Structure 1
Amino acid sequence: METLIDVAGLNARMTAGQRTVVLDVRWALGDPEGRSHYLKEHIPGAVYVDLPTQLADPADPGRGRHPLPSLARFQEAARSWGICAGDVVVAYDDAGNTSAARVWWMLRDAGVRTVFLLDGGLAAWRSAGLPLEGGQVEPETGDVTLGRGGMAVTDADGAAGWSAGGVLLDARAGERYRGEIEPVDPRAGHIPGAVSAPTTGNLDDDGRFLPPEKLRERFTGLGVDATTPTAVYCGSGVTASHEIAALEIAGFSAALFPGSFSEWSNDPSRQVATGAEAGQ
């Protein structure tokens, strides 16, 4: 199953008039102006997706900063973006797909198999000299019916014991993993036994995913192989989705801990480790 589509592939679909739902998922921690960026300019026909309100429930200490929304809420959002049964969906952002991967993972989990990330995102589209437009796109309501369970997940109890028989990857920046800084969550550090694997290591200097062989080399170096169960967490389950996409490109599958460290660190019964784990 393909994870990515490149700019040439998306442009060819659009030029040929092939039905394609394009989703703009611009969001970043500390930057609440995603919609404003979208209104200024976006890929023609792209529909804005608001990550905090459409791809998450309100923050809950017991579920994390971006809990997965109910199936009913997510289906309502997906239909508002114009998604119909059988559609090809392409998601992008302006940060190497670190936020767009959230909707990619959620649609995959919901049973949409023809959903792709635009490799390089908006920057790659701009670099290719392709047109942009401004303003709000209001699509006709779609009819897609979503499910749940298409992607593997784990919870806090699963994450607690994961490293005993598998590899638990922490997709946050290394300094947050080590506990040197923690800008948003109540405690600094990482889940004991987790391996530091910052999401930024999945991308080249242009914000495109590394080639499959390079990603495979990266992850095997962190202990991942086809027979070892792998799970991923981050701060709130957003960039961990990007890591799962990178693992898929490399030929591996992995479970997501949706609540991630924001859920874990809010539970005083959960231990938090600091510093570098042995061998890192």
Structure 2
Amino acid sequence: MKTLMDVQELQDRMISGAQTILLDVRWALGDPRGHEHYREAHIPGAVYVDLETQLCAPGGPGLGRHPLPDADALQESARRWGIDDGDTVVAYDDSGNLAAARLWWLLRNAGFPSVRLLDGGLAAWRAAGLDTEGGEERHCVGTVHLTTGHMPAVSISDLVQPSTVDVVLDARAGERFRGEHEPIDPRAGHIPGAVSAPTSENLLPDGRFRSRDELRRRFRALGADRGRVAVYCGSGITAAHEIAALDVAGIEASLFPGSWSQWSTTDGLPVAVGA
């Protein structure tokens, strides 16, 4: 199953009329105006996906900020986006797919294999000189059937047992990993034994993913080519991007959905600081 689709392939599919559901997952931490940005300009035919309400369950004590939605809720949303069984879904955003990768992971986890990330997202579409449109796009309600449990995931109990996971990657920025700056969660630092692996380093300056060989070298240097790998971030959003990058590199990895927002608010769990 391919992870990425480039702009040329997407354009060819659109011209040929191949059944493609385009989903715009415009979201960034600290910017609540994703839907507004979508209405101003998006790839023609793309449907807006609200990450906070459609790709997450409500947060709460001991759950983290962005818990995974349950299977029924995700299926209901997917049908509203117009997805039928057998469609190809292409997700994108305007931040190097840091948000869209959450949708990619959720649909893969729900047993929907034909979902791809538009490499470079909206920026790549614009760089190719292609038109955007404004307003709101809606499709007829789809009939897709989704389940759950098709992608590996780990919990806190898995991470506190050394025999369960061999390598834990922290996808947050280095200063958050080291505990120098924590803008959101109550404790600064990282899960003891984790390795700093900022998601931003998966990308080229233009927002496209690095090549398979580059990513393989990166993750090999982090020790992620040996044993069982788990990934976390602040709340489980950008960790999915790291898993997509690992997938491009040919490495399977498990998501820790609660991530640091769950670990740091759970009593009795240790916290490490520094490099």
Structure 1 and Structure 2 fold alike (TM over 0.5): yes
Structure 2 equivalent of residue 233 of structure 1: 232
How far the C-alpha of 1:61 sits from its partner, in A, is 2.3
After the TM superposition, which of the residue ranges 82-91 and 60-69 deviates more from structure 2?
60-69
Tell me the secondary structure at the aligned position of residue 161 of structure 1.
coil
**Matches of 1:25 and 1:77 in 2, distance apart?**
13
**Matches of 1:137 and 1:188 in 2, distance apart?**
41
Give the TM-score taking structure 2 as reference length. Answer: 0.98
How far the C-alpha of 1:165 sits from its partner, in A, is 5.1
Matches within 5 A, 1:141-220: 141-162=141-162, 166-220=166-220
Question: Would you say 1:94 and 2:94 are equivalent positions?
Answer: yes
Runs of 4+ in structure 1 deviating by more than 4 angstroms, as ranges, are: 162-165
Structure 1 equivalent of residue 57 of structure 2: 57
Structure 1 residues 214 and 147, CA gap change in structure 2 (3 angstroms):
same
How far the C-alpha of 1:161 sits from its partner, in A, is 3.0
In structure 1, runs of 5+ residues without a counterpart are none
- Provide the alpha-carbon RMSD of the alignment: 1.0
How far the C-alpha of 1:265 sits from its partner, in A, is 0.4
Structure 2 equivalent of residue 30 of structure 1: 30
**How far does the alpha carbon of each residue in 1:169-218 deviate from its partner, in whole angstroms, 9 at most, with x for none?**
00000000000011111110000000000000000010000000000000
Aligned length, in residue pairs: 275
**Matches of 1:162 and 1:82 in 2, distance apart?**
43
Give the TM-score taking structure 1 as reference length. Answer: 0.97
**Matches of 1:70 and 1:52 in 2, distance apart?**
14
Structure 2 equivalent of residue 272 of structure 1: 271
Matches within 5 A, 1:63-78: 63-78=63-78
**How far does the alpha carbon of each residue in 1:90-148 deviate from its partner, in whole angstroms, 9 at most, with x for none?**
00000000000000000000011000000000000000011100001011000000011
**Matches of 2:100 and 2:75 in 1, distance apart?**
17
Contact map agreement 1:160 1:192 (CA 8 A) in 2: no
How far the C-alpha of 1:159 sits from its partner, in A, is 1.9
Structure 2 equivalent of residue 245 of structure 1: 244
How far the C-alpha of 1:158 sits from its partner, in A, is 1.1
**Matches of 1:163 and 1:218 in 2, distance apart?**
24
Structure 2 equivalent of residue 261 of structure 1: 260
**How far does the alpha carbon of each residue in 1:9-56 deviate from its partner, in whole angstroms, 9 at most, with x for none?**
001000111110000001010000000000000000000000000000
How far the C-alpha of 1:163 sits from its partner, in A, is 7.9
Structure 2 equivalent of residue 137 of structure 1: 137
Amino acid at match of 2:143: D
Tell me the secondary structure at the aligned position of residue 18 of structure 1.
coil
**Matches of 2:8 and 2:163 in 1, distance apart?**
41
**Matches of 2:15 and 2:176 in 1, distance apart?**
44
Identity value in percent? 60
**Matches of 1:161 and 1:183 in 2, distance apart?**
29
Question: Would you say 1:105 and 2:105 are equivalent positions?
Answer: yes
How far the C-alpha of 1:68 sits from its partner, in A, is 0.5
In structure 2, runs of 5+ residues without a counterpart are none
Structure 1 residues 37 and 3, CA gap change in structure 2 (3 angstroms):
same
Structure 1 residues 102 and 162, CA gap change in structure 2 (3 angstroms):
farther
**Matches of 1:111 and 1:233 in 2, distance apart?**
22
Tell me the secondary structure at the aligned position of residue 235 of structure 1.
coil
Structure 1 residues 172 and 8, CA gap change in structure 2 (3 angstroms):
same
How far the C-alpha of 1:244 sits from its partner, in A, is 0.2
**Matches of 1:163 and 1:92 in 2, distance apart?**
36
**Matches of 1:85 and 1:220 in 2, distance apart?**
36
How far the C-alpha of 1:160 sits from its partner, in A, is 2.4
Tell me the secondary structure at the aligned position of residue 160 of structure 2.
helix
Contact map agreement 2:165 2:229 (CA 8 A) in 1: no
Amino acid at match of 1:6: D
**Matches of 1:228 and 1:40 in 2, distance apart?**
45
